[in-house]
Structures are given as structure tokens and as C-alpha cells.
């Protein structure tokens, strides 16, 4: 750390940092003018589920900093692994070179992931994994003598990232509309989000009805379709829309029947978030109970599995596209152009891979999936007052994700809830009137109690 950085850090106050940030940083997903009335939140340090400002004021990170953090901020075990890696190798290009962390990570993921996903291709953020999977799928069909298969389908309200290719399979008007002229048009099919079921219709029946719509679409257009991309079990950006796993099982059957790749985007839901290491393991009408085995009894294997966010425990940008040996082999040839000529400078960065290995170690050593099951049961018990609140609708839970809608007169509910939450020491980041919790897995019972009681207090002011 340079001397000037240390001096500057010592001098920083909340106020100074805000002013400097507003003058020099263009913040993501933000209408910057909003910050004239809604101040940025300065963060000096993090520890466990807590983020602290320069005055020591703290916020419980109930959204795991955009769904990435698994084992708390400044986790000593991930820190130690990174410090060790820093002394060995910070980076080397992955084209023509290789290194221990990337090889080990690929081997371990192959063992853990659903059957058949024998190869890992590396990217940086989630959106780059989506881009890679879309390109790889279409290129596979081209290499296999079906160059006309260039279309993709996704679910209504899907979210797969915000680069141009990823936006072509993202169905969120707010993120797409300004770039309509730049984006390839792809079709969407009905989402099995159970909030959309008819009165009296159970989630499973509704999911099967949506799968019928997928089948009708595939029947008509499969010759032009390369892949169907889906967020397994939970459509995060759609407002934590949850659906019955039977949909995934049907989607797998239909994609195989019609010769279309299935891309499972587990960027947000992978790494234990839904209760199994990968959400695809639950793709059956009878989801497996822990201890979960590889692939899960009745789970599905997609043609592509996308990982990012939690894969590094929330430390460093890394994404991975896992795919089958059959797809890998379609690129393996003497001609350069049949190869997958895609790259990012930081592909397979050793530090990021090492953070991912430390994350997998914690899963193994701490029996995280079982512990999370107990935590989720505890949370569901103490969240009863929220579930029964007269202004709360559709209280739902999958694994370590909870969500509900709030009946409120405020059209700017999300912003008000965020600001009020901060006053209650909570980082809440509702989507519209949907409040959700996606806390780091190391959250304690006491912290869960605090999250529930203070959310109730926040909501009571806003209804």
C-alpha cells in the first residue's frame, strides 16, 4: 500500500468520500441526479454480515452486496488463501499458459456439477458468461452443419446480464429499451412464476402449463433455435420470482427432444443459494433432501451451466461456463476457425480462482448446505409475523432466499424502504414493492432476528 494511499485513507470522512465519489465516479444502475436527494452510502470496511461507514455506523448486508457474498465480508479463510496466492502468482494469460488454481477449480467443479459437464471456460462477470454460452451454442450448431440455428429463447421477465448479447435474452424493459436498435430480437416464453397462476391452480400445474407453451414454441421454431436460457428455480431480477422445479425437468426433456441446448444460468442461484449446490439438482417433482449427492436424484444436467457471483465468495469477478464433452469435441479440429476464439484479458485469473477454491473448501469443511437448511427453517419460524402481516403478500422462500410484496400507497416504495432501512441499520434493496432477503450464509440467529424485526418496523412506517 503506498504511503499516499494510507494518508488519504486516514483523512477520509463520510462527507469527503461522498463529494469525491460524486465528482469522479459514474455509479452503476443509477440515475446520477438522484444522488442530489438520495446520498450515496460510504463504506469504510466490512466484517461478517456488516458494512461500516467512517463513523462506525453499520448496515446489515441483507442482499449480500448484489447477491455475491456467501461467507461474510473480510472472511479470514478467503483472505488467507488470497494472501498466499498473492505471494505466488497474481496473473498470467490463460491462452497458451495454465496454472494450478484454474486447473484445480475446473477439476473440482467437474466433480461437483451435474453429470457430463466436463469442461470449464472462463470469463469475468456474469454477463460475459452469458455472452460466452450464447456464442458457444450458436457456434456449436454451425460446426455441426446447422448454421441456421442462431435464435435464442428465454423466459418472460428473464435477466441474464446487460451487455448487448445478454440483453437479447433479458426481458426487462427498463434495461433494454434505450438500446432496442442495438439488440438482436429473440423470443420469450411464459414464465412459470407461481404468482401468475390462476386462483386455485397449484404451482406444479401452472409450471406444467407453462412448459406446454415452451413445447408449442419449440415445435414450431426449433430449426432456428440454438438454445433456451433459463434461471433455475428463481428469476432474481424479476422480483425473486420462484417456480416449481418440474418446469426445469420438462424444459430438459423438451430441449433434448427438439435438439435445442439448455443453458442453466446459475449466476445468482448457484453455490448453494437455493438449498443445493446447484439449483438444477432440484429439477424434479420430488426435490432431493440433504445430504445432497452429485447431480441430485432426479436432477437435470444442462448443456451449459453458468456460474459467477458467489463462486468467489463475493471477492473477485470471475465467471465460468461449464459445458459437455460433446460440445467441447465439436470445436476440437485442425481448422483454427472451428475453435472457440473468445477471450478476456483476465480469463481464469489465479487470484479469483484461488478465492473460488477457498469458497469450495468452506462448503466442504463446514457442511454449509446442511447448516443452511437449519438456518432457513429458523428464519421461516421467526419470519411468521412478516408472513402474516396484513399488508404482506406472497411470502416465499427457496433455500437462502426470501421475498414478499408489500401493499403500499407509495409509488417510490423501493427508494423509501432503502432509506428507512439504512436508519434501522439494514441494507434492504427492494425491487418495486418486492422486499427480499438474500443474506450471507454466516448470518447468526441474532442477526436474523434483527433483520426480521427491523424490516417489520420499516414496513410499518411505509404502509
Q: Which residues contact 266 (CB under 8 A, 6 or more apart)?
A: 231, 232, 278, 279, 280, 305, 306, 307
Indicate whether 271 belongs to the interface with ligand PLP (CB under 6 A).
no
Based on the shown chain and the rule CB under 6 A, indicate whether residue 268 belongs to the binding site for ligand PLP: yes
Confirm or reject binding of residue 310 to ligand PLP (CB under 6 A): no
Q: Does 105 bind ligand PLP (CB under 6 A)?
A: no
- Write the interaction track for ligand PLP spanning residues 322-361; mark x where CB under 6 A is met and - where it is not: ----------------------------------------
Q: Does 161 bind ligand PLP (CB under 6 A)?
A: yes
Residue 308 within binding range of ligand PLP, rule CB under 6 A: yes
- What the block records as the C-alpha cell of 187 is 423470443
* CA–CA distance, 392 with 341 (Å, rounded to integer): 50
- Asked if residue 125 binds ligand PLP (CB under 6 A), the reply is yes
267 contacts ligand PLP (rule: CB under 6 A)? yes
CB-wise, 101 or 270, nearer to ligand PLP? 270
Q: How far is the CB of 125 from ligand PLP (least distance, A)?
A: 4
Kindly state whether residue 302 participates in binding ligand PLP, applying the rule CB under 6 A: no
Q: Determine if 159 is a binding residue for ligand PLP (CB under 6 A).
A: yes
Residue 126 binding ligand PLP, by CB under 6 A: yes
CB of 309 to ligand PLP, least distance (A): 6
Q: How far is the CB of 389 from ligand PLP (least distance, A)?
A: 27
Q: What is the largest CA-CA distance in the chain?
A: 67
Q: Which residue is nearest to ligand PLP (CB)?
A: 126
| Contact status, residue 104 vs residue 357, Cβ threshold 8 Å | yes
Q: Which of 160, 250, 273, 354 binds ligand PLP (CB under 6 A)?
A: 160
Out of 192, 236, 313, 439, the only residue in the binding site for ligand PLP (CB under 6 A) is: 236
Least distance in Å: CB of 289 to ligand PLP?
25
Nearer to ligand PLP by Cβ, of 283 and 386: the residue is 283
Q: Does 265 bind ligand PLP (CB under 6 A)?
A: yes
Measured between alpha carbons, how far is 442 from 445 in angstroms, rounded to an integer?
Answer: 10
The interface region with ligand PLP, picked from 123-131, 322-330, 388-396, 437-445 by CB under 6 A, is: 123-131
Q: Residue 122, interface with ligand PLP (CB under 6 A)? A: no
Q: Judged by CB under 6 A, how many residues of this single chain contact ligand PLP? A: 14
Alpha-carbon span 448 to 248, nearest angstrom: 31
Q: Return the sign of the alpha-carbon dihedral for residues 432, 433, 434, 440.
A: positive
Position among 63, 78, 105, 127 found at the interface with ligand PLP (CB under 6 A): 127
Q: Which stretch binds ligand PLP (CB under 6 A): 159-167, 330-338, 408-416, 433-441?
A: 159-167
Q: Which of 288, 320, 286 is nearest to 306 (CA)?
A: 320
Q: Using the CB atoms, write b or e for 107-139: b if 16+ within 10 Å.
A: ebbeebbbebbbbbbbbbbbbbbbbbbbbbbbb
Shortest distance (Å) from residue 171 CB to ligand PLP: 12
Q: Where does this chain touch ligand PLP (CB under 6 A) — which range of 7-15, 141-149, 158-166, 343-351?
A: 158-166
Nearest to 229 by CA among 304, 296, 283: 304
CB of 172 to ligand PLP, least distance (A): 11
191 binds ligand PLP (CB under 6 A): no
- Residue 254 CA to residue 261 CA, distance in Å, equals 10
* CA distance to 78, 132, 286, 426, 458, per residue, from 52 (Å): 20, 37, 42, 11, 20
> Sheet harboring 261-265: ordered strands across?
119-123, 319-323, 304-307, 261-265, 225-230, 151-155, 187-189
Closer of 236 and 440 to ligand PLP (Cβ): 236
Residue number with CB closer to ligand PLP (64 or 75) = 64
Minimum distance of ligand PLP from residue 435's CB (angstroms): 17
Candidate ranges 98-106, 140-148, 260-268, 380-388; the one touching ligand PLP (CB under 6 A)? 260-268
48 touches ligand PLP (CB under 6 A): no
Nearer Cβ to ligand PLP, position 126 or 314? 126
Name the minimum Å distance from CB 268 to ligand PLP.
4
Helices 350-365 and 76-86: crossing angle, nearest 10°? 140
- Which residue ranges make up the site for ligand PLP (CB under 6 A)? 125-127, 130, 159-161, 231, 236-237, 265, 267-268, 308
Amino acid at each position: 500500500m503506498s504511503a499516499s494511499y494510507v494518508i488519504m485513507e486516514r483523512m477520509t470522512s463520510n462527507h469527503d468520500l461522498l463529494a469525491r465519489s460524486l465528482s469522479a465516479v459514474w455509479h452503476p444502475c443509477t440515475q446520477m441526479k438522484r444522488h442530489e436527494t438520495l446520498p450515496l452510502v460510504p463504506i469504510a470496511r466490512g466484517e461478517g454480515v456488516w458494512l461500516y461507514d467512517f463513523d462506525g455506523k453499520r448496515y446489515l448486508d441483507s442482499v449480500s452486496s448484489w447477491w455475491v457474498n456467501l461467507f461474510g465480508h473480510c472472511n479470514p479463510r478467503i483472505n488467507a488463501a488470497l494472501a498466499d496466492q498473492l505471494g505466488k502468482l497474481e496473473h498470467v494469460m490463460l491462452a497458451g499458459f495454465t496454472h494450478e488454481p484454474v486447473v484445480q477449480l475446473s477439476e473440482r467443479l467437474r466433480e461437483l456439477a451435474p453429470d457430463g459437464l466436463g469442461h470449464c471456460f472462463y470469463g469475468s462477470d456474469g454477463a460475459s458468461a452469458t455472452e460466452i454460452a450464447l456464442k458457444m451454442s450458436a457456434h456449436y450448431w454451425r460446426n455441426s452443419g446447422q448454421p441456421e440455428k442462431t435464435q435464442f429463447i428465454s423466459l418472460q421477465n428473464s435477466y441474464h446480464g446487460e451487455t448487448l448479447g445478454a440483453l437479447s435474452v433479458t426481458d426487462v424493459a427498463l434495461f433494454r429499451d434505450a438500446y432496442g436498435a442495438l439488440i438482436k430480437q429473440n423470443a420469450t416464453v411464459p414464465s412459470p412464476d407461481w404468482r401468475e397462476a390462476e386462483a386455485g391452480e397449484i404451482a406444479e400445474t401452472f409450471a406444467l402449463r407453462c412448459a406446454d407453451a415452451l413445447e408449442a414454441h419449440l415445435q414450431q421454431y426449433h430449426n432456428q433455435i440454438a438454445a433456451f436460457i433459463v434461471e433455475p428455480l428463481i428469476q432474481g431480477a424479476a422480483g425473486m420470482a420462484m417456480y416449481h422445479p418440474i418446469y426445469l425437468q420438462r424444459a430438459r426433456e423438451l430441449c433434448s427432444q427438439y435438439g435445442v441446448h439448455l443453458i442453466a444460468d446459475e449466476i445468482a442461484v448457484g453455490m448453494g443459494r437455493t438449498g443445493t449446490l446447484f439449483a438444477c439438482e432440484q429439477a424434479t417433482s420430488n426435490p432431493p433432501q440433504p445430504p445432497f449427492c452429485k447431480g441430485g436424484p432426479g436432477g437435470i444436467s444442462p448443456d451449459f451451466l453458468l456460474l459467477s457471483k458467489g463462486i468467489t465468495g463475493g471477492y473477485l469477478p470471475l465467471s465460468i461456463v461449464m459445458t459437455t464433452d460433446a460440445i467441447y469435441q465439436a470445436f476440437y479440429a485442425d481448422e483454427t476457425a472451428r475453435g472457440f476464439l473468445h477471450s478476456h484479458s483476465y480469463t481464469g485469473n489465479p487470484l479469483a480462482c484461488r478465492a473460488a477454491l477457498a469458497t469450495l473448501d468452506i462448503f466442504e469443511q463446514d457442511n454449509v448446505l446442511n447448516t443452511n437448511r437449519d438456518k432457513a427453517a429458523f428464519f421461516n419460524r421467526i419470519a411468521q409475523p412478516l408472513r402474516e402481516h396484513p399488508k404482506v403478500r406472497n411470502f416465499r422462500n427457496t433455500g437462502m432466499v426470501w421475498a414478499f410484496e408489500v401493499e403500499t400507497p407509495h409509488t417510490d416504495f423501493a427508494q423509501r424502504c432503502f432509506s428507512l432501512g439504512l436508519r434501522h441499520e439494514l441494507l434492504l434493496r427492494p425491487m418495486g414493492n418486492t422486499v427480499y432477503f438474500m443474506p450471507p450464509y454466516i448470518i447468526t440467529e441474532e442477526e436474523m432476528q434483527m433483520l426480521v424485526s427491523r424490516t417489520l418496523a420499516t414496513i410499518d412506517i411505509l404502509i
